[in-house]
Chains A and B, each alone.
Chain A
Amino acid sequence: MGLTGWLRWGWRQLTSMRTALILLFLVALASVPGSIFPQRGQSPERVVQYLEEHKTLGPWLDRLSLFDVFAAPWFAAVYLLLFVSLAGCVLPRSWQLLQNLRSRPPSAPKRLGRLPQHAEFHSGETPERVLEQARETLRRRRFRTVADDGSLAAEKGYLHEAGNLVFHLALLALLFAVGLGALFGYRGNLLLTEGTGFSNSVAHYGEFHPGHLVDPDDLAPFQATMDDFEVEFVSSGAQTGQAREFHARMTYREKPGSAERSETVRVNHPLEVAGAKVYLLGHGYAPTFKVTDGAGHVVFDDAVQFLPLDSANLASEGVIKAPDAEPQQLGFQMMFWPTAAPTPDGSSVMSTFPGPLNPMVAVVGAFKGDLNMDSGDPQSVYELDAENLEMVKVERKAMAVGETLKLPDGAGEITFTGFKEYASMTVTYDPGRVPALVSASLAIAGLVVSLMTRRRRVWVRASAGEDGRTVVEVGGLTLGTPTVEFDDLLRELRAEEPEPEPAPASAGTIKE
């Protein structure tokens, strides 16, 4: 066996049903770790946490790509092999189906009695007449028929194979659609406070995940502003505090200068703009503060997005940075409770409801010194760099809207002026979305058609018998479980015979 021989052998092995089945099971098996270990694509923060908790095992799992299973080379190897195997099987079969459609149904085999479905009866009509009538009957049942000398060949149910092939080809198309999204799609996450807006550029996203071939400087230039955000909570009963509905009222432009439109975005109801979609995923509070420095200048007057510590009742934390404060920069670590209430032991404050029934804040830590914002390193807006900061001792108390806390030694003061809400949003663009939907729909249509139809052949042979009557033989072959159609057909064929005789072989006998 030369090289071509080996290649041919390899290709035959790869495209065999046995290999395809094993690859299919391997894909299923290979997905399992993706559901057990945290995945970077879904929850990167849990991967970090896992790596911290499993100092020895973690790095090994990481080396085996077990935190990126669905992007792992070994996973890609298995599914690509499967799809190559699938293509190698399905494409030649499509060609074969086309050939079949163009050629005639095969002629009657010599001995119809050997077919799985078979019957024989006598008729008073001439053989020619019997065959003619049989042809009519079969045609009425939408068989393709061809008359041979003394026999008739009929076939139908090509949709079985056609549906089967459509299903598999659609799966291949689905893979390409997914690939299209992975190459040209992107996703950006951001937190948007009421009254503020963003434009679709990388700078506005807290996180941005571009596809491999996305030019981040060339995103669709739409702009959107969130004018108002509303959330409604269940206020009584066992589900108290569960969100009932979120609404974000947004105005947007397809591109700078185009007409402004508005839309209410809800969960399950994204905003579609310029081919991208803007989704509302969650929400939080952005309390507003006014900070005055030691010189009496207002150095901060804005809303600050706080991150929820408690997802049920939205007790949240955040920081305020006032780099313009004189004589020293000021920083604050804050807590916010939408519905503040004392903890059961009375020592502290907690939130008892996610809606703003009794909004209060407290200064957890006040700092003065150098916020280290000029170092050039990117700094989180949710954390203070405490290295060059000095803690200022302040009174620990919960403040209601309008209350002010003065820093000692005339270093300044902070006022809780109110609060806004922010929405966590994600913007996605996926050019593979529609092709994927079309492929998936074709796949399911092909699957249903294929499973509902069966390819079957029927042959009728008529010849003059010894008693002068015509001997009619009928044979049937079905791919898959035989249907009752053969028996119905037989009944019809025999009904056209004016005085039916008892048949030698019982109708629709099933033989090996």
Chain B
Amino acid sequence: MVDTELADLSNNMLLGAVLLYVVAMLGYAADLAFTPRPAKARAKALAGAGAPVEEAADTAEDSAEPDVPRRDWGRFAVLITVFGGLLHAGGVVARGMSVSRWPWGNMYEFVVAICLAAVVGFLVLLVRSKARYLGAFVMLAVILGLGAATIWLYQAPGELVPALKSYWIAIHVSAAIIASGGFTVGFVATLLYLAKARHEEKASTGFLDRLPGSTTLDDLAYKATMFVFPIWTFSIIAGAIWADEAWGRYWGWDPKETWSFIVFAIYAGYLHARATAGWKGRKAAVVATIGYAALLFNLVGVNVFLEGMHSYADV
């Protein structure tokens, strides 16, 4: 049933992807380091202006514009990211082909797919919002994710238990993967926002000058989260429909269900908080950070520490 050659190919492709991501991360870091700092005053004006994302990102980009050779670090990093992403996707596809099923049947495969979703999510933001400055941090998160998956979660390719043999795995789990990847990118932006907001408040100098204004970062985090929140909601609903087919109830407060609800509630709180006086800004960002922590716990912690019906997604 298992094509071990394809499975080995998958492992090697993923290893290659990690190496490329490391190179890309260094590229983005060089891009940040060698980009001239935008004038302090300019950053301030942007921060206070409630500028739309595109506008501010443009400005940040503009400051790098005249310096053509330096700009190349960024381009190089993006190119390497795309190659890494292709290799990563190839690894996921090969894994699926080696076992003739959707390649997200256990924790290892799931985390690998989420990392791919995060890379794709970053590339989308790169095109739409010129968010190249996120690159180094997203790459770091992805490298850590793939590393953890390989070291602690690795499972030899194999067949699924009967409960997982359903087309709902393609719907429910795919949505969870896309949403988790998007939340990861949003989380990276949120952390940068928190750091940058503090930095601006203290009016200190340092490498954070090289990032766009806190408002841009906050908007970017919001954008990513807003985009994936409905996908997460959909994933929960699709899971409920599947649970109704497989277990005879659509909602039973299984630990995974409970925690996916908790994640939903916290991120819903974030979306509201951002529009509420007295909560917007840093408080909302803290809520989003807690939301991501809950997401990670739901992803891994629930399978490691709690006993439930999702335990076939073994570690």
Contacts and interface: CB of A to CB of B under 8 A. Distances in A.
Interface of A: 17-18, 20-21, 24-25, 27-28, 31-32, 34-36, 38-39, 41-43, 46, 69-70, 116, 178, 187, 234, 237-239, 242-246, 266-270, 277, 279, 281, 426, 428, 430, 433, 436-437, 440-441, 443-444, 447-448, 451, 480-484, 510-512
A433 B272 contact: no
B262 A17 contact: no
A46 B306 CA distance: 12
A237 B252 CA distance: 34
B247 A35 contact: no
B233 interface: yes
B36 interface: no
A242 B278 CA distance: 55
A27 B258 CA distance: 11
Contacts of B229: 447, 451
Interface residues of B, number: 63
Contact of A178 (B158, B227, B251): B251
Contact of B162 (A35, A178, A245, A451): A245
B261 interface: yes
A279 B259 contact: no
Nearest to A246: B162
Given A25-B265, A436-B250, 10 more contacts: A18-B278, A28-B261, A34-B253, A35-B253, A178-B251, A443-B233, A480-B275, A484-B54, A510-B55, A512-B50
B163 interface: yes
B158 A433 contact: no
Contacts of A480: 275
Interface in B236-294: 237, 240-242, 244-255, 258-259, 261-262, 265-266, 268-269, 272-273, 275-276, 278-279, 294
Contacts of B272: 17, 20-21, 24
Nearest to A480: B275
A28 B266 contact: yes
B1 interface: yes
Given A31-B258, A35-B306, A39-B253, A234 B265 contact: no
Interface in B42-68: 48-55
B265 A245 contact: no
B166 interface: yes
A484 B234 CA distance: 28
Given A41-B253, A451-B229, A237 B2 contact: yes
B5 interface: no
Contact of B249 (A237, A269, A428): A428
Contacts of A243: 161-162
Q: Say what secondary structure dominates the interface of chain B.
A: helix
B302 interface: yes
Interface in B23-80: 48-55
A325 to B, nearest CB: 40
A268 B241 CA distance: 11
Contacts of B244: 433
A481 B237 contact: no
Nearest to B291: A28
Question: Which 3 residue pairs are nearest across A and B when measured between Cβ atoms?
Answer: A28-B265, A35-B255, A279-B248
A21 B267 CA distance: 11
Contacts of B48: 512
B163 A267 contact: yes
Contacts of B209: none
A510 B230 contact: no
Contact of A451 (B168, B226, B275): B226
Given A17-B276, A267-B246, A32 B262 contact: yes
B3 interface: no
B165 interface: yes
A46 B247 contact: no
B191 to A, nearest CB: 21
Given A21-B276, A268-B165, A512-B48, A244 B219 contact: no
A510 B14 CA distance: 45
B151 interface: no
Given A35-B302, A239-B158, A436-B250, A245 B165 contact: yes
Interface in B1-26: 1-2
Most B Cβ at <10 Å: residue of A31, A281, A437: A31
Given A28-B265, A234-B159, A268-B166, A510 B249 contact: no
B165 A267 contact: yes
Contacts of B248: 187, 270, 277, 279, 281, 426, 428
A8 B175 CA distance: 43
Contacts of B259: 35
A137 B50 CA distance: 28
B156 interface: yes
